[in-house]
Amino acid sequence: MGWAISQRLNLDAGIQRSEFKDIDNNQTSNNTNYTLGINSILIPEKLNFKVNYNLNLSGGDDDSPNREVINSELEYVFIKARSNRPGLSLSVRGALEDKYDSPDPTQNEDNYQIFTVLRVTAPIDHSF
């Protein structure tokens, strides 16, 4: 579900529930996933920012750890895509993943990642 707070700010949120039953082993596992995201145009047609938060709560017989993931991206647009001309942007993207509450301590860990992304975009013509 998403909300346009303004022309330059969007908020997204969601909840998902899943349950899996393994009839052969008589086990049940379930997950509840919460998401929250913010997309912002900091400088129109030049600088964009995104941040997303995801919380996955596990339960049942399989002892999976709970998981939190935060990722974000800051994108600078060098050339905006236009008709018959591709666009070019550079992004810095990062993520933090935290696994916790597992009975197996080796599964409780933090992971960090950072990337740079060179993105080429092309517009799609809807007039045909």
pLDDT for residue 44: 94
**Per-residue CA distances from 41 to 38, 112, 114 (Å):** 10, 25, 21
**Per-residue CA distances from 33 to 50, 66, 98 (Å):** 19, 10, 14
pLDDT for residue 101: 74
Q: How many CB atoms lie within 10 A of CB 64?
A: 20
- pLDDT of the chain, 128 residues: tens digit per residue: 899 999 999 999 999 999 888 888 888 888 899 999 999 999 999 999 999 999 998 887 767 788 899 999 999 999 999 888 899 999 999 999 988 776 666 667 888 999 999 999 988 776 65
Q: What does pTM read for this prediction?
A: 0.78
**Per-residue CA distances from 74 to 68, 92, 106 (Å):** 21, 5, 33
Helix (H, G, I), strand (E, B) or coil at 103: coil
pLDDT for residue 6: 94
Contact 46, 87 (CB under 8 A): no
